[in-house]
Structure 1
């Protein structure tokens, strides 16, 4: 069950992040820790990387906004970070960055069940995705792809 203060804290954090040029990616409140911890994850619009300086620069305004809201009456630790890299490959930048990495491609063709193909990511064009499946190049129509996910080399 989510903490009752979570919606209000999320609203305060989202507004503060927006004022500083960021988007709120996630907010977690860990009340089981002593002192409790407020974890705020931010991202920049347009996919620009979040730096350590960005996190440090937002820490003061975010702390001030939380204090001004009077939502938290107990001591807390504020952590500002980026969400990091997920396992889904979605943007053009992701496909460039993870070229050669092992991926699983989920394909939905017609009425049958989804099919998953595994291989190394080679290339993506406007129409196709190419993966290397144990030395064989597989060209997959982008229109049939529902998901491209990074995997570990051993899975």
Structure 2
């Protein structure tokens, strides 16, 4: 279950990110860590990944705003990063950016069972997610797709 502060933090971070030419990709609270860790994942608004300097600059601006908001009354560590390998593709921009990359697709098959298929991402349109499976095109109905994650390319 997501942490109850995440929606409030998203509302706080989105306008700050947009004003900096960035897009919020995710907010995570790692409550099992001591002190608690607030992870903010960003990307440039045009879909490009951010670099270390981008993260550091945004972290400074964001830290002041989070402190002033008093949403996080306990001690915490702020971590600003870019979504990386192993991340779930959520937005149309993600599917465009990662065309040709290896992905794992979790979906419901014809019997309603959860199945995973790995291949190279071709495209996602209104009706299907298309994968290249060793030269063959596989089309998975979009409503059946549960999640799409980047994976490390298989070797061999």
Q: TM-score, normalised by structure 1?
A: 0.64
**Structure 2 residue aligned with 1:46:** 46
Take 1:17 and 1:38, find their aligned partners in 2: how far apart are those partners? 16
**Structure 1 residue aligned with 2:95:** 91
- Give yes or no for contact 1:123–1:131 (8 Å, CA) kept in 2: no
CA change 1:32–1:47 in 2 (3 A) is same
Q: Deviations over 1:46-71 (max 9, x none)?
A: 32111111101101100000011122
1:138 aligns with 2:142: no
**Structure 2 residue aligned with 1:62:** 62
1:17 aligns with 2:21: no
Take 1:65 and 1:120, find their aligned partners in 2: how far apart are those partners? 41
Alpha-carbon offset, residue 131 of structure 1: 3.9
**Structure 2 residue aligned with 1:26:** 26
Cα RMSD (Å): 3.9
Take 1:72 and 1:8, find their aligned partners in 2: how far apart are those partners? 11
Bigger-Rg structure (1/2)? 1
Take 2:103 and 2:3, find their aligned partners in 1: how far apart are those partners? 38
Take 2:26 and 2:77, find their aligned partners in 1: how far apart are those partners? 16
Size of the alignment, in residue pairs? 141
SS of residue paired to 2:98: helix
CA change 1:48–1:76 in 2 (3 A) is same
CA change 1:45–1:32 in 2 (3 A) is same
Q: Deviations over 1:15-67 (max 9, x none)?
A: 22122111111111223322111111112223211111110110110000001
Q: TM-score, normalised by structure 2?
A: 0.63
